Amino acid sequence: MSSLELSGGTPAPSQRLWLRVVAVCWFLVLLDGLDLFVYGATLPGVFQDKSFGLTPAMAGDIGSANTFGMLLGALGVGLITDRIGRRKIVLGGVIVFTISAAVCGMTPNVAVFGIARFTAGVGLGVLLPTAISMVMEFAPAWRKNIAATLVMTAHQAGGAIAGAVALNIVDSLGWRSVYWFGAAPIIIAVPAIMFLLPESITYLLASGKTEKAQAIVDKFDVPLAAYAPEPGAQVRRGRVSELFTRATASVTILFWLASFGGLLLVYGVNTWLPEMMKNHGYSLGSSISFLLVINVGGIVGLLVAGRAADMFGPKRVAVIWFLATTIGIGLLAVHMPLWLTYVDVFLTGAFLFSAQVLIYAAQGTYYVPSMRATALGWVSGMGRFGAVFGPWLGGVLTGHHLSGWGFGVFALAALISAVLVSLVRGNPVGASETRASAVTAATGVQPT
């Protein structure tokens, strides 16, 4: 059977094209994760820099300012990406957060540091939902979930690199050097976007830019029909009201609330895990290494989650993953032998980070292609309220010497998100076509 065929005779996306999009987006999301998680990785070193004068309460506020910037970026991209295209959005986001990282590396005081983290958040918030939307658009139907989770392994790889770099150079070169390390790859990122990342073909077709779309598909030898927008896409795209139709309103609200809990976990844990573990009796070196381990676990978990989601559906797997996260975080409150704690941290990361990505993957299947980027932008943006709340809450608890309570709070957030996702009803858009395509890809036989 031809690789250009799907069930029902619809042409399939070009493998060479979608793998290129995944590769470029993977690299960009790696930079996103490095810039985001460097904050939590450097906090212990910043606190030891008494001349800088950062307190735990101030650190919580700055962490929340960063995620509030991400909220604004994600909501903004949800409004404009289906109107102006994906490529410009990706380029602008990368430039903003890398320049902001450089500013953090030479900041003279806490105030400038906080402003730079806020602007970095805007760029980070713009990039992530756009990158996920692009890989889900270009990937074939039976690979959309694994494509989304594969790209998000880069986010956790960035977190692992941030932890490793901080662990090895903060003592010798100072915490500022880690931010310079995160800013340097911009010299590769901008050319990669300009020369390797194509514009969304579906966006070009929906915008009437057929010649540009044709040029891209001619280069990769795939018919335009593989990316044709659904009827009415031109009128529908970018309209937030389409998220609240009779078929999508409850889905939208439930995923927004679940995303709040998921991102509260992601950013609360990544910001405060080293400090919480240090206050729980572990050494500074071990506390920072926990951040590295939890992100390595996240990478493994994302690969497993994507495969499981393609087999059993992202919604079902998301519920299981959130429940496992509840157990893993709860166990962190128990003072166990160091090796067992590392195992728990690894497994918690495997479930925690991929649970949130599965929300994106699941939610994206409930909307037509012309609304997918808007839907992902808004679920990411609304979830950022949780991302703002998580670091702030961690700062309050740590500042009042109650960081042990954080484990219970984060475990409860995971449990509530599991319940919310389980309440989602309705049929995902194109679910039957996706299942049929998966059968065809695995067996070479057209389902009837």
In a domain, 1, yes or no: no
pLDDT value of position 286: 65
pLDDT tens for each residue of 352-387: 988 988 998 888 778 776 677 778 778 877 887 887
In a domain, 448, yes or no: no
Domain residue limits at 125: 7-443
pLDDT tens for each residue of 226-244: 676 666 555 555 567 778 8
Give me the percent of the chain exceeding a pLDDT of 90. Answer: 19
In a domain, 194, yes or no: yes
How many folded domains does the chain comprise?
A: 1
In a domain, 322, yes or no: yes
CA distance 264 to 270: 10
Mean predicted lDDT score pLDDT of the chain: 80
Q: What is the 3-state secondary structure (H, E, C) of 123-159?
A: HHHHHHHHHHHHHHHHCCHHHHHHHHHHHHHHHHHHH
CB 104 within 8 A of CB 304: no
pLDDT tens for each residue of 84-93: 888 889 999 9
CATH code (residue 82): 1.20.1250.20
CA distance 159 to 191: 23
Report the C-alpha dihedral over residues 433, 422, 383, 250, rounded to 10 degrees: 70
Q: In degrees, to the nearest 5, what angle opens at C-alpha 15 toward C-alphas 11 and 18?
A: 100
Mean pLDDT, residues 192-213 taken together: 86
pLDDT value of position 233: 56
In a domain, 229, yes or no: yes
